[in-house]
């Protein structure tokens, strides 16, 4: 994979298998292959969207990058000064300074804030743990963070219950921002919010990106939100990325049949728009026992014998457009007609 000066994070052949245990002795009888060989990179200052249906492994990718899980195999290279350091090889004490560089925003603003801590405690905790600030300096930093996310500084002594869902999500964002990270993993940050609040939060994330020079890995299942916020988009299916391209190109001219089906499944807000919908039959197979060859072949309307036997290669078919499909050159797929 091509590496350039501007790459902030590079993931190479990442695998995360969770053991399935059974019986009194908790024997391992198999593995859930949540992430099964994922490779991509994120450039400094860009937003990479990661979409897919539930259970496709997108959250596991995000958490493995932060080493919240211990991945089974692969490399996660993160730029520190001019070097790419493999996060997965670091010892705990070497990892700690790097943790400041990467933070996460969670989906559920209700369960991700401790109800017994005030907003001040929640946002200042990372600063205290990392010995960044104390006393009045700490207070003034928290005040600035609250203002940066559009909350009133005088509310810092309140508890999370006193805030609405959208405001809580802002508190979570302020906490993630506290250590001035370079990379922010946004794990479905707006899916629990009402539409009008969703838009406020998306705009806030865009503003903060400009202001603090942040790089986002934006994980979501809502394709229109991902299209809006991302420079490039990666589509995941059953533990693999099947397609990755610039957001406008991916939606306009998808090259993988799954991407095409996913785009056609989104209900459009134009009542006159009558597009031919590709309805995928059946459900996503279990990642504990994925199909052979291309994992999408049982639901793919183009599947041929080769798809059942050999897993497709992850290759760059045109500049910055990556696809894992045997047949992509032979297919003419439909995207969004604007």
Partner 1 sequence: MTPNNLQLQKPSRSDDFLVRIENLKTYFRTMDGTVRAVDGVSLEIKPGEALGVVGESGCGKSVTAFSILRLLPKSSKIMEGQILYRRNNGEILDLTKVDPNGNVIRSIRGNEIAMIFQEPLTSLSPVHTVGSQIAEAVTLHQQATPEQARERAIQMLAQVGIALPTQRFDEYPHHFSGGMRQRAMIAMALSCNPQMLIADEPTTALDVTIQAQILELMKYLQDELGMAIMMITHNLGVVAEMCSRVAVMYMGKVVETGEVSSIFHKPLHPYTIGLMRSIPHLGQRVKERLAPIPGSVPDPYSIPQGCAFAPRCPAKKLPGCKLEVPLAEVESGHFVRCTLYQDHAASEPAGS
The DSSP output letter for 281 is: P
Q: Which residues contact 193 (CB under 8 A, 6 or more apart)?
A: 109, 165, 166, 169, 201
Range in contact with partner 1 (rule: CB under 8 A) among 9-17, 192-200, 307-315, 321-329: 192-200
- Where in the chain does DSSP place strands (E)? 7-22, 27-43, 47-51, 73-80, 83-86, 102-105, 183-187, 215-220, 232-237, 240-246, 315-318, 321-323
Q: Give the single-character DSSP code of 291.
A: P
Selected from 127, 214, 262, 307, the binder of partner 1 by CB under 8 A is 262
Please state, in angstroms and rounded to a whole number, the distance separating the CA atoms of residues 33 and 240: 10
* 93 forms part of the interface with partner 1 (CB under 8 A): no
Torsion of CA 202, 207, 212, 215, to 10 degrees: 40
Among 83, 154, 196, 332, binds partner 1 (CB under 8 A): 196
Q: How many CB atoms lie under 10 A from the CB of residue 116?
A: 8
Tell me if 332 contacts partner 1 by CB under 8 A: no
Q: Does 260 bind partner 1 (CB under 8 A)?
A: no
The reply on whether position 89 binds partner 1 by CB under 8 A is no
Q: Which of 92, 136, 271, 319 binds partner 1 (CB under 8 A)?
A: 271
User: C-beta of 35: minimal distance to partner 1 in Å?
Assistant: 18
Q: Does 261 bind partner 1 (CB under 8 A)?
A: yes
Selected range binding partner 1 among 172-180, 264-272, 287-295, 308-316, rule: CB under 8 A? 264-272
Establish if 66 lies at the interface with partner 1 (CB under 8 A). no
Binding mask 148-177 for partner 1 (x = CB under 8 A): ----------------x-xx----------
- Minimum gap (Å) between residue 285 Cβ and partner 1: 10
Q: Under the criterion CB under 8 A, does residue 54 sit at the interface with partner 1?
A: yes
Helices (H) and strands (E) in the chain, counts: 10, 12
Minimum Å gap between C-beta 228 and partner 1 is: 4
Whether residue 21 contacts residue 12, with contact meaning beta carbons closer than 8 Å, is answered with: no
265 interacts with partner 1 by CB under 8 A = yes
* Binding residue for partner 1, selected from 103, 107, 198, 259, defined by CB under 8 A: 198
Q: Which CB atom, from 127 or from 190, has the smaller least distance to partner 1?
A: 190
287 binds partner 1 (CB under 8 A): no
Q: Quick check: 276 binds partner 1 (CB under 8 A)?
A: no
Which of residues 77 and 220 has its CB atom nearest to partner 1 in the complex? Answer: 220
Backbone phi, psi, residue 219, to 5°: -95, 125
CA neighbours within 13 Å on the CB side: how many for 243?
25
Which residues make beta-bridge pairs with 41?
10
Select the residue interacting with partner 1 from 146, 208, 220, 263 (CB under 8 A).
Answer: 263
Q: Check binding of 303 to partner 1 (CB under 8 A).
A: no
Q: Residues 59, 242: contact at Cβ < 8 Å?
A: no
Q: Are 178 and 212 in contact (CB under 8 A)?
A: no
| 4 contributes a contact to partner 1 by CB under 8 A | no
| Unique residue bearing structure tokens 């499909």 | 325
Please name every residue paired with 218 in a beta bridge, in sequence order, or none if there are none. 49, 186
The correct pick among 269, 313, 319, 332 for binding partner 1 (CB under 8 A) is 269
- Residues near partner 1, by CB under 8 A: 53-54, 164, 166-167, 194-200, 202-203, 206, 221, 223-225, 227-228, 248, 251-252, 261-273, 277, 279-280, 283-284, 335-338
């Amino acid at each position: 994979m091509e590496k350039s000066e501007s790459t902030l994070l590079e993931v190479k052949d990442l695998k995360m298998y969770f053991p399935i245990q059974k019986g009194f002795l908790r024997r391992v009888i198999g593995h859930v292959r949540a992430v099964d060989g994922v490779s991509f990179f994120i450039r400094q200052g860009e937003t990479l969207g990661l979409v897919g249906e539930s259970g496709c492994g997108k959250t596991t990718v995000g958490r493995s990058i932060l080493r919240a899980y211990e991945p089974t195999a692969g490399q996660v290279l993160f730029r520190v000064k001019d070097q790419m350091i493999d996060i997965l090889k670091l010892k705990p004490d070497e990892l700690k300074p790097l943790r400041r560089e990467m933070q996460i925003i969670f989906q559920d603003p209700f369960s991700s804030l401790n109800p017994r801590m005030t907003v001040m405690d929640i946002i200042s905790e990372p600063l205290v743990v990392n010995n960044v600030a104390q006393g009045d300096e700490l207070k003034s930093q928290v005040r600035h963070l609250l203002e940066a996310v559009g909350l009133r500084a005088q509310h810092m002594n309140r508890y999370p219950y006193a805030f609405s869902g959208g405001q809580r999500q802002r508190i979570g964002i302020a906490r993630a921002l506290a250590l001035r990270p370079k990379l922010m993993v946004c794990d479905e940050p707006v899916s629990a919010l009402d539409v009008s609040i969703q838009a406020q939060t998306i705009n806030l994330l865009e503003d903060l990106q400009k202001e603090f020079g942040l790089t986002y890995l934006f994980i979501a299942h809502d394709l229109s939100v991902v299209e809006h916020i991302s420079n490039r988009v990666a589509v995941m299916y059953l533990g693999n990325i099947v397609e990755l391209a610039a957001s406008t190109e991916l939606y306009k001219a998808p090259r993988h049949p799954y991407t095409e089906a996913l785009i056609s499944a989104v209900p459009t807000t134009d009542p006159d728009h009558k597009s031919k919908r590709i309805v995928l039959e059946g459900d996503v197979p279990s990642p504990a026992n994925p199909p052979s060859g291309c994992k999408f072949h049982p639901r793919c309307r183009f599947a041929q014998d080769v798809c059942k036997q050999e897993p497709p290669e992850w290759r760059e078919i045109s500049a910055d457009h990556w696809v894992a499909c045997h047949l992509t050159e032979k297919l003419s797929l439909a995207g969004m007609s604007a």
